[in-house]
Amino acid sequence: MCGICGIYNYGSGVHVTREDLKAMNDLLVHRGPDDEGYYTRETAGLAMRRLSIIDLSTGNQPISNEDGSVWLVFNGEIYNFQDLRAELLIKGHKFVTKSDTETIVHLYEEYGTEFPRHLRGMFAIAIWDIRRKRLVLARDRLGKKPLFYALTPYGLTFASELRALLAARDIPRELNPAAIDAFLTLQYIPSPLSVFKGVNKLEPASVLVFEDGRARTEKYWDLPLGEKKLDDVPLPELKERLSFELSEAVRIRLVSDVPLGAFLSGGIDSSIVTALMARHSDKPVKTFSIGFKEEKFSELGYARQVARMYGTKHTEFTVEAKMADELERLARNYGEPYADPSALPSYFVSRETRRDVTVALNGDGGDEAFGGYLRYAAMKTEALVSGAPAWLKSAALRGIRDLPKAAPFGFFWRLEKFLKLSLMGGLAEKYLSAMSFFSPGDLDGLYSNEFISLLGPQKNYAGRYLAKTFEATAGEDLLNRLAYCDLHTYLPEGLMTKMDIASMANSLETRSPFLDHKVLEFAFRLPGNLKLKGLGGTKWLLKETFRNMLPPEIYGRGKMGFGVPLGQWFRGELKEYWAAACLSKKALGRGYFKSEGLYRLWDEHQGGKRDHGYKLWALLMLELWHRQYADDFKL
């Protein structure tokens, strides 16, 4: 695992120096504290920071082919590199290291820009092809590893993280209003957008080729849309296939020359990963769990049951609000506004886990692949009752709208969400309502007239972004349409961003067996009724397949998620902190919001009329980001 960066000054004649690269590379040291490397030749240069995982002695970068005509830097892990290496040796390629990195160089020689199709793993890759005067960037299928880039007056500059990219010269810093609007709706900024105009994220499953002064981007992978489902395959055979695919995905992720463990939340997915790791390991698995002193937000008891069942070497940590002193560090780490509050416990569990291991497996992706989210059940139910009269649903919504809602995800909170869904039109609009904490209507009441004017036709970027994603899914069943959207939006842009930054800020590599593309391709060919049985049987096939490997309490429990007690924190330990940050003269002077809108949210929350914890968190993250990256900004 590494941090990478580079520059290609096409056509300008401006040479790239080591100092140019070092300015960026020094800001990636947390991603690779073990080593650094540089390559420069005239107008092109590559650099990296290395976290050594495989081939500790000879896996340094940048690395080249035999004659030095192709150079590469790479962030990630390739799990099938040994098989690829064997195939390339037969074709006559010569290797001087045992690293997965060198395999990619020769794969590019053999297949050109089609090389990512052959990779099984997580990666962000940059290749400088001297003969063709071509820079090639590639990102893995699910966006596990990030890659930012900008077209500059000189050419193209790229880096693993935005704050490193900003250290290069001529990187634009004009704020992107559409990105801010999307952030407040989705809690993340979706690629290819970034918070700055002119700076882009390379989209997942994409290759960018920059040559002759022009950049072109192509997709190299997608889920198998339109293929026949496996609905005529006997259930025992499906269970056997699922067991094999996931077990193999875990097995190949155990290759490491450094200590390795697992995040164990006590949920279905991380419990299955832990069980499969124990099956493939000849010594106790090291597991790590985090919880809160507020019991209803903690899953530590469930994690202990799995740890006992498999005899793991188990370690627990507890997050308290006083640990939130590091909020400014959290905002700085992400480089652009990011508001999933589970970033906080993810950061802490990564920090503590790194004390014992360098690599940790997790259960990310199980919900998307196998139908685990409660919103899937809600939208399936809504589809069944959509024929109820609109007047009846509207009356019910009016009746509960002003009831106190003590906590997000409580009964009345969910009922209000459900009724709103039932009154909406298209699937994208319903999905957006289910996913967002600030609805477009909420933002209309919060935005200043100046910001609405600045947004212009870019307003509600998130709605158009989701609608475009759903357009590709026509003909799929409801569950697979929802999963497809999650796997192209929320998972890569939200969850993968969170996990990459939280872990790499602590020099920890995380691996996600459920997000192996072979597992996902199999899961997407399953009919939706095997994932969500009836109206409440989430992850049915997954649970049935691994029933005998889980404690009964784990098998039968519902989804909890990585909840954070924000509502309590903003009425307690973080009350003064939020008000001092978000109601300050500087914050109000930025011009995004009507001050009366902010005060209304704050007063409703403090008075207990509604729980706005998640909205308040998003506003806080935006302000803390501004203080570190754009403190002088105002409309």
d(CA 423, CA 65): 59
pLDDT for the residue 205: 99
Q: Walk me through the domains of the chain, giving residue ranges and CATH numbers.
A: 2-219 (3.60.20.10), 235-371+482-556 (3.40.50.620)
**pTM of full prediction above 0.75:** yes
d(CA 140, CA 145): 7
User: Which pair of tokens denotes residue 307?
Assistant: 């740890």
Please list, in sequence order, all residues whose beta carbon lies within 8 angstroms of the beta carbon of residue 631, skipping any fewer than 6 positions away. Answer: 586
d(CA 343, CA 27): 20
The string of DSSP codes covering 227-290 is PPPSTTS-HHHHHHHHHHHHHHHHHHTT--SS-EEEE--SSHHHHHHHHHHHHH-SSPPEEEEE
Residue 558 has φ and ψ, to the nearest 5°, of -85, 175
User: Which pair of tokens denotes residue 433?
Assistant: 């309502």
d(CA 150, CA 168): 10
User: How do beta strands 156-159 and 206-211 pair?
Assistant: unpaired
Residue 328 has φ and ψ, to the nearest 5°, of -65, -35
State which amino acid sits at residue 139. Answer: R
2 an active-site residue?
Answer: yes
Classify 472 as helix, strand or coil. coil
Classify 38 as helix, strand or coil. strand
pLDDT for the residue 299: 77
Strand stretches in 192-240, DSSP E? 199-201, 206-211, 214-219
Residues 462-501 pLDDT 10s: 999 999 999 999 889 999 999 999 999 999 999 999 999 9
pLDDT for the residue 381: 75
d(CA 192, CA 165): 15
Give, in order, the Cα–Cα distances in Å from 590 to each of 85, 424, 572, 605, 616.
54, 33, 27, 23, 17
pLDDT for the residue 18: 96
User: How do beta strands 509-511 and 359-361 pair?
Assistant: parallel
The string of DSSP codes covering 375-390 is HHHHHHHHHHSTTS-H
Residues 201-246 pLDDT 10s: 999 999 999 999 999 999 999 999 988 899 999 999 999 999 999 9
| pLDDT less than 50: residues of the chain | 391, 393, 396-397, 400, 405-406, 411-412
Q: Determine contact, residues 181/190, Cβ cutoff 8 Å.
A: no
pLDDT for the residue 411: 46
d(CA 208, CA 113): 9
Q: Determine contact, residues 57/513, Cβ cutoff 8 Å.
A: no
User: Which pair of tokens denotes residue 417?
Assistant: 């969400």
Please list, in sequence order, all residues whose beta carbon lies within 8 angstroms of the beta carbon of residue 240, skipping any fewer than 6 positions away. Answer: none
d(CA 332, CA 624): 8
The number of angstroms, rounded, from the C-alpha of 229 to the middle of its chain's C-alpha atoms is: 28
State which amino acid sits at residue 361. Answer: L
Q: Determine contact, residues 380/434, Cβ cutoff 8 Å.
A: no
